[in-house]
Structure 1
Amino acid sequence: MTTAQRTEQKNFATPDETRTFENGVVDLVGIGGAQIGRLTLQPGWRWSEHVKPIAGTELCEAPHFQYHVSGRLVIRMADGTEIEAGPGDVTSLPEGHDAWVIGDEPVVVVDWWGASNYAKG
């Protein structure tokens, strides 16, 4: 029986791994042969200020496929394209972007693609 054929259940209340960084945290669960991440980003968080020093790249080079649970996030691509995402939105982001929280509510996103390398030096 392969990993994908097993019935599995995980909960972000007990993640397999947690990575913290200034104004944020990513909780990771391994399930179905993949790592799924829940990012919680506090008001004032900005990738270029709080994660860039960890990543060591000019922009976020992790592609993302995310469901936005709460809060509002602005994402600016290297070409200047900018989107604002909020609760209920699903975003697919290629590598090469910055992002920041707007407003006073924490941003929570569930990330199916890219979280395994997020905030990892």
Structure 2
Amino acid sequence: MSDKQNIASPHERRPFKDHGHVDVVTLGGFTLGRGVFEPGWRWSDDVKPIAGTDSCQVHHTGMVLSGQMTVRFDDGHELNVGPGDVVDLDPGHDAWTVGDEACVVLDTGIAAYAKPA
């Protein structure tokens, strides 16, 4: 069955502790999130209390629409991402927004993200 849902009217909004939220649309077996990571957002401050893990354990796949973010993996290497970057991010990382602009990301790896453990 074909279906549609506009991300501006998501099925679910998951607020972070502070500094943003993720809007979630699920159609059949497909889930898409639009994360709005406001200036000052950091996974270890804003999502870790919700997830209950030492680092983000979600496999993210998606595209950055606006803003900048740095992702630091548990092994220490870092990846900077910005507008137009398509990403495939393995579990085991922290991340934070860079600068004074919100980082907006479309993410297909969002089904379990920012949900209480």
TM-score normalised over the length of structure 1: 0.91
- 1:32 is displaced (CA, Å) by 4.3
Structure (1/2) with the larger helix percentage: 1
Partner of 1:120: 115
Which residue number corresponds to residue 15 of structure 1?
10
Partner of 2:55: 59
Question: How far apart in 2 are the matches of 1:112 and 1:47?
Answer: 18
Mark the runs of 5 or more structure 1 residues left unpaired by the alignment.
1-5
State the aligned residue count. 115
Query: What TM-score do you get using the length of structure 2 for normalisation?
Result: 0.94
Q: Which moves more between the two structures, 31-40 or 64-73?
A: 31-40
Q: Deviations over 1:21-78 (max 9, x none)?
A: 1101010001242111110010000000111111111000011002000000000100
What are the within-5 Å matches in structure 2 for residues 2-41 of structure 1? 6-21=1-16, 22-41=18-37
Letter of the 1:58 partner, please give it: D
* Structure 2: 5+ residue stretches without partners: none
Runs of 4+ deviating beyond 3 Å = none
Q: Distance in 1 between matches of 2:85 and 2:111?
A: 21
> Which of these two proteins has the greater Rg computed from alpha carbons?
1
Distance 2:23 2:92 in 1: 22
RMSD over aligned CA atoms reads 0.9
Which residue identity lines up with residue 7 of structure 1 in the other structure?
S
Tell me the percent identity.
48
